[in-house]
A = this chain, B = another copy of it.
């Protein structure tokens, strides 16, 4: 459906941060990263993010994001704000509607951070 469906995924090439399994995270980095993970720590926000990212054109109007959930409009608005302040999405008003899109660098950063070394034998036991 959406044209992005066949694009390759960003691999380790775009790794902006070393994987956290390589060396201990610094105190300051940990605080910044924890803020991003906190934004991902709510089921509604996770679904909002994937809904936005997988929406046609890579962006979605708030009006598209309210229907799928059982919570009130102010609550959705609140969650979108959390995602925005965590640097995970961008937003813009266009006339009557407000559009949100994912900031791919942010997701790539977290993804790279969680990259793991090849699984040892223990993992397959």
**Chain A residues with a Cβ under 8 A of chain B:** 4-5, 7-12, 14, 19-25, 27, 30-31, 33-34, 37-38, 40-47, 49-51, 53-54, 58, 68, 102-105, 107-108, 110-120, 123
A12 contacts across to B, CB distance below 8 A: 9, 11
B117 touches A7 (CB 8 A): yes
A41 touches B41 (CB 8 A): yes
| Whole-angstrom CA separation of A7 from B115 in the bound complex | 12
Nearest chain B CB to A18 CB, angstrom units: 10
| Whole-angstrom CA separation of A104 from B5 in the bound complex | 27
Closest to A8 in B: B118
B110 touches A9 (CB 8 A): no
| Whole-angstrom CA separation of A37 from B43 in the bound complex | 10
- The answer to whether A10 and B43 touch (CB under 8 A), given A21-B107, A54-B22, A114-B110, is no
